[in-house]
Structure 1
Amino acid sequence: MTFERPWPKGHLHLEDLSIGQRFESREQRMELDEVKEFAGRYDPQFFHLDEEEAAGSLFGRLAASGWHTAANSMRLMVESVPFARGLIGAGGEISWPKATFPGDTLRVLSEVVEIAPSRSRPDRGMVTLKCQTLNQHGEIVQVFNPRIVVWRRPATE
């Protein structure tokens, strides 16, 4: 099976980054069937699977799993944050200040908030991003602050 990359190969190295640098993703719609399929496989709670039962929940209607929001957000980050050699996570914090619902359209805004060259490994450093996932109304539905391993530009480039 051949894999076709639907986004450009990452090209930014540690030296190319600066505090405040921003990246914006495309939009991604959360479809009802995908919300239910994800929940059925990974987060099978009634408020993610059954419209009638979800009406009596904290959400008042069927809501997407936070982990589904996170998975979609990760895809959007991978496509829009062009770090050389990919996004290799080294921890972080995540929160969901507002629920995501079927039919919502998500986009991710990512900002470099910290750059720390490694003292023990001169070929890399650690970059902290602040990634906000917004719905079509501009409301923040997820905040993710990952620490990402970012490589320095090889001496041959």
Structure 2
Amino acid sequence: MRYFEDIEVGAKSSFGHYEVTREEVIAFASKYDPQPFHLSDEAAAATHFGRLSASGWHTCAMTMSMVVANLETSRQAGLGSPGIDELRWLKPVYPGDVLRCETEVIDKRPSQSRPEMGSFRSRMKVLNQDDVVVMTFTSIGLIATRPTS
């Protein structure tokens, strides 16, 4: 199990493999972001996207799926997150894209009020199959400290 004490500032990791499908793009957009360029090839062709593109919120959800899968394999003593900062959608995500993640720990600190936990911030990049960065954000993770007994 990885605890707060095991987190190293500057540590980098790469993980994930998420194949974006047309059906999923349309299904997500239909329910959560029903803008025409997420639902229709014809409507998307008339925009700067040029073709059907995934919602940025869908890109976040796909990224979260990869993050959770990575947490399961890395056996981290995670306690959730109070949020993210500086979310940016840099390039469109299209059906047929394959996404992956790269992350770097940029700082960590013990909790002032809860000695059983600490927090760390990581710079997250989501890239497509051509190594183009499509989304970035800074994540804030809460993590348990190593038990003393």
TM class by shorter chain equals over 0.9
Letter in 2 for 1:42: Y
Report what 1:128 is aligned to. 121
CA contact (8 A) 2:78 2:141 kept: no
Equivalent position amino acid for 1:123 in 2 = E
Q: Secondary structure at the match of 2:48?
A: coil
Task: Provide Cα deviations, 1:49-99, integer angstroms capped at 9, x if missing partner.
Answer: 000111001211111000111001011112224363436111222111111
- The Cα offsets for residues 112-157 of structure 1, whole Å up to 9 and x where unpaired, read as 111011121111111101111000000011102111111101113x
Give the secondary-structure state (helix, strand or coil) at the position aligned to 2:46. coil
How big is the shift at 1:21?
1.1
Count of aligned residue pairs for this structure pair = 146
Residues 56, 48 of structure 1: alpha-carbon distance in 2 compared, 3 angstrom cutoff: same
Amino acid at match of 2:35: Q
1:39 aligns with 2:29: yes
TM-score normalized by the length of structure 1: 0.88
Residue 125 of structure 1 aligns to a residue whose secondary structure is strand
Residue number in structure 2 paired with 1:84: 76
RMSD, matched Cα? 1.3
Indicate the residue corresponding to 1:53 in structure 2.
Answer: 43
Report Cα offsets for 1:4-31 as digits up to 9, x if no partner: xxxxxxx211000101112221311100
Conserved 8 A contact 2:79-2:144: no
The residue type equivalent to 2:54 in the other structure is A
Query: What TM-score, normalized by structure 2, do the two folds share?
Result: 0.92
Quote the Cα distance in structure 1 between the aligned partners of 2:55 and 2:75. Answer: 28
Aligned match for 2:143, one of 150, 153, 156: 150
1:92 match: secondary structure: strand
Q: Which runs of 5+ in 1 are unaligned?
A: 1-10
- Answer 1 or 2: which has greater helix percent: 2
Identity over aligned pairs, percent? 38
* Selected match of 2:91 from 81, 90, 98: 98
CA contact (8 A) 2:79 2:141 kept: yes
Q: Any unmatched runs of 5+ in structure 2?
A: none
Q: Which moved more, 1:80-89 or 1:96-105?
A: 80-89
